Structure 1
């Protein structure tokens, strides 16, 4: 197809997500909206209310200057009446503002947003799942329903943005979408804050009460069952039996906080398991760790994992989602089966008891993570938008 005519009007893009809690999907969505070329794209973000205690990034997000559109009924939980109202809110918004592109994010926001876009006649619909929910931990019946809904919604989606090649293959295998409907765009990480944290290791350890010679295993993420921190605490108890100076540092908050504290007490390691809550200086705290652990049962790509690796930490992670595209066992970390605290403990011990391996693999981890920049992500998303605009015959902005 020949290049379509140019226009002086910016392309209007609406992003849709249920909430801005702390986590890779919300932070990645916000980066996408905030960093798009403002000379060519006028981007807005429709978002639902954020739950208390989920570690919201909303205040920080609103300080970026992004145009926010608050939707009272766009919630993550399944609530049929609220869901219908949310579709109505989105439909009215899309009809009124005449967006050329609607880009939805995560499962719930993706389903409701795409239905509304279909009803409103939006020319281009893009969806980023940020990792799917098809692994079966919601039960067989619900998983089948989720797959059917995603397959149905994919029928009126122009492109699905997968974070990894593995994700694309899973969509094809499950019959959700063919390869040609998918584009692989890795999540982009803003690495600028890391440059300001060199030399913070001793400082952050002193703040947290960790001795300079302690061995710190750390993780970052919502304290929720799907993130597998209970397996990590269980594995750490085995590590602690052999490594006298071992500590476990959990960065994050969530509904599993009390249960994890109870588990640590039950296993007799509560004096070595540190709950640091959400931190605005995660990049700095990472400098105080020796090993980064990701025990999740599901991940899209694992933003926290990329950040940990960028801090030159060797990784011990579960082989889920796109994690195997980041962690190469025996080179920059170790992969283990999810739900196996014993295997997790073995992998952690392999690194905990070998300082030279931690140093060598940590350097390789830093090199791998450096390829996941926010600049690369934005460039690929803009290229995808331009490709779809050309396919639909919609004029591109003159500066494109």
Structure 2
């Protein structure tokens, strides 16, 4: 199968990494992969057969003759229309955008009749889309983690020392891009609320920034100073692929983000045997509740978040139990093999539909 990945982006976020994992698996299985319009670090993620710097056009599609187009970011509607002129199936991998919920007007105008299938990263978002736009084909393409994350954690003590934390110090971790809807401030407030019972608890913030994030970082830094947390909080600029190593130093992972579909860092934390705390509603809510690998709380409720932190940091036994259950859940549902199998099943179905339509059209001539 010849697959054209269209990623008009210079962002290196979780969904780019998910597609990179999928792309590597597809190539290993013998499929041809071309990449259109990557910029910056995204180019280095994909071991492709060909990288096309130009935007997708009639000429590009006629030269490549792909069996399938998979689009992530950029002018996805224009790309889909060009592909549909040639009866090439189009799949949209929809990474979560806060502005799309709960207003589905954009989706209703774009998806029916244009996208053959939509992949979303969580069952929660899939159920919501099916309810709001029943006329489109949508399914969950499970986010995945590398199998090497399942290996036992090593060098925890030296990593903590390098970060400025002691071995016995309770340590909370959060990995996310600096953005308002990620709600870093909620976690800072909750940490302050635990101060009486956990005066030495530390917070490790892992993130990646761009020039547009400078104002938000200044705001966050001021909040740290106002709360008197400057000695307990560390911020490490880390690209997504470096996050799992740093997570090895933590005791608990927290995701206070609002309307997160399914954070890749959360899955990486589970693969590292960390219990997780996540704001609700969230895409990982069913995973957390079904596997009993963590706790949830109402988004923005810093008192509830503080109670969750106290409960987990007070019990090594509970953390170990939840961490082990989380690891098993990720191994069962969120491996690259699961993602690849579901993608290929969907792609084969779409190609079969195209072939059937072509045969029917030929019989009418």
Which TM-score applies when normalising by structure 1?
0.80
* In 1: Cα distance, 2:201 partner to 2:290 partner: 22
1:58 paired residue number: 42
Q: Which residue of 2 aligns with 1:169?
A: 127
Aligned to 1:315: 276
Secondary structure (helix, strand or coil) at the match of 2:341 reads helix
Give the corresponding residue for 2:336. 374
Deviation at 1:220, TM superposition (A): 1.1
Change in 2 beyond 3 A, CA 1:158/1:234: same
- Give the CA deviation at 1:103: 1.0
Alpha-carbon distance in structure 1 between the residues aligned to 2:110 and 2:30: 28
Long gaps (5+) in structure 2: 357-365
CA 1:244–1:133 in 2, change beyond 3 Å: closer, same or farther? Answer: closer
Q: Deviations over 1:251-279 (max 9, x none)?
A: 11221323212211111101111001115
Deviation of residue 40 (structure 1)? 4.7
Secondary structure of the structure 2 residue equivalent to 1:199: coil
After superposition, residues 300-379 of structure 1 pair within 5 angstroms as 300-328=261-289, 331-371=292-332, 372-379=334-341
Correspondence 1:101 to 2:68: yes
1:128 corresponds, among 81, 93, 96, to 93
Cα deviation, residue 153, structure 1: 2.4
Q: 1:158 to 1:376 in 2, by over 3 A?
A: same
**Matched residue, 2:194:** 239
Secondary structure in 2 aligned to 1:240?
A: coil
Distance (Å, rounded) in 2 between the aligned partners of 1:67 and 1:193:
29
The whole-number CA distance in structure 2 between the counterparts of 1:367 and 1:193 is 12
* 1:220-268 Cα deviation digits (max 9, x unpaired): 1211112121211222121233202200001112213232122111111
Which of 27, 34, 44 in structure 2 is aligned with 1:44?
34
Instruction: Give distance in 2, aligned partners of 1:28 and 1:356.
Output: 32
Which residue pairs with 2:238 in the alignment? 278
**Cα deviation, residue 340, structure 1:** 2.3
* Aligned-partner Cα distance in 2 for 1:90–1:187: 30
Match of 1:189 in 2: 145
| Cα offsets for 1:306-344 (capped at 9, x unmatched) | 100111111000123421132128921111122222222
Aligned residues: 349
Distance in 2 between residues matched to 1:193 and 1:238, nearest whole Å: 32
Change (3 A) 1:37 1:316: same
- 1:122 and 1:241 map into 2 onto residues whose CA distance is 64
CA spacing shift, 1:261–1:330, aligned 2, 3 Å:
farther
CA deviation digits over 1:133-189, x for unaligned, max 9? 4565xxxxxx64xx22322322221111132222222112222645xx122221121
Q: Which runs of 5+ in 1 are unaligned?
A: 1-10, 51-56, 72-85, 137-142, 395-400
Alignment match, 2:228:
268
| Alpha-carbon distance in 1 for matches of 2:139, 2:291 | 29
Aligned partners of 1:309 and 1:315 also within 8 Å: yes
Counterpart contact for 1:161–1:184, Cα < 8 Å: yes
The Cα RMSD (Å) is 2.5
* Inter-CA distance 386–40: structure 2 relative to 1 (3 Å threshold): farther
* Distance in 2 of aligned mates of 1:347 and 1:47: 43
The offset of 1:207, in angstroms, is 0.9
Aligned to 1:149: 106
Distance 2:110 2:291 in 1: 40
Query: Do the aligned residues in 2 keep the contact of 1:227 with 1:295 (CA within 8 Å)?
Result: yes
Q: What is the distance in 1 between the residues matched to 2:160 and 2:34?
A: 40
CA distance in 1, matches of 2:98, 2:172: 28
Are the structure 2 counterparts of residues 129 and 198 from structure 1 closer, same or farther at C-alpha, using a change threshold of 3 Å? same
